[in-house]
Amino acid sequence: MTSPARNRVTPLGDVVAVPLRGAWTGNRGNLHAGREIVRFHASDLWITCALSFRGRWARQWRPNRFTWLYFHDEAVSFAAGHRPCGECRRPAYVDYRDRWAAELDVPVPSAKDMNRRLHGERIVRGTHRRRSHELAWSGLPDGTFVLDGDLPAVVAGSHLTRWTVSGYGTRSRRPRHGTAQVITPPATVAVLRAGYPVQIDPSAF
């Protein structure tokens, strides 16, 4: 049996080799040499793409080309710091962008504007260490990822569902008071709060 390739992304943004299927693909530049992942990112352009688009096909691990990555669901890709692609997911991109502008009370941003802000919100400059931030539990929209202990968990209605490399697992009651340690970037949390219809695997509910 062939071992899984190292091209699946966790909510914390790590690229791992697990057999979990992805509902989305995407990239953050050229991360590989041969078939090995050798860097965490190559630019501030981190996108989530459709698995198929206009019949196009591209081979994985092409030299000097971006590395195809895969995400269990869109909520995972958002937690990792990606946004919708402006080409293969144009309607989702426009929706994300417009809700960003409305909720953050800023002019409609360019792709570069969003890339720059998200990059500052997802990792500590000069490192691979993920940023997190505190928000009140009461204001967290579905699809937001938080830390439940040391593990990532998605907000799904009245409860949290932990994410594992095998998919969603243990559920617990969502706290009503206090603050959560949130790993989804603040700008994307704002987009979710504004009503963006993020795709979450049904097993989380």
Flag whether 190 is in a domain: yes
Chain mean position to CA 125: 19
Flag whether 18 is in a domain: no
Higher pLDDT, 138 or 189: 189
pLDDT cut 90: percent of the chain above it: 79
Residue 194 near residue 102, CB atoms below 8 Å: yes
Flag whether 16 is in a domain: no
Compute the average pLDDT of residues 143-163: 95
Question: Helix, strand or coil for residue 148?
Answer: strand
Residue 170 CB: number of other CB atoms within 10 A? 12
Which residues are 32's β-sheet partners? 37
149 lies in which domain range? 122-204
Token pair listed for 61: 């691990």
Give the DSSP per-residue string, 60-97: TT-TTSPPPEEESSHHHHHHHT-EE-TTTTHHHHHHHH
Among residues 141, 133, 106, which one has the least CA distance to residue 116? Answer: 106
pLDDT of residue 126: 53
Flag whether 7 is in a domain: no
Flag whether 174 is in a domain: yes
Flag whether 77 is in a domain: no
Distance CA 178, CA 176 (A): 7
pLDDT at 127 over 60: no
Flag whether 193 is in a domain: yes
The one-character DSSP state at 26 is E
Residue 17 CB: number of other CB atoms within 10 A? 12
Chain mean position to CA 6: 17
The total of structural domains in the chain comes to 1
3 falls in which pLDDT band (50, 70, 90)? confident
Among residues 113, 102, 112, 129, which one has the least CA distance to residue 183? Answer: 129
pLDDT at 114 over 60: yes
pLDDT of residue 73: 98
Provide the whole-model pTM.
0.94
Q: The domain spanning residue 199 has which CATH number?
A: 2.30.30
Flag whether 20 is in a domain: no
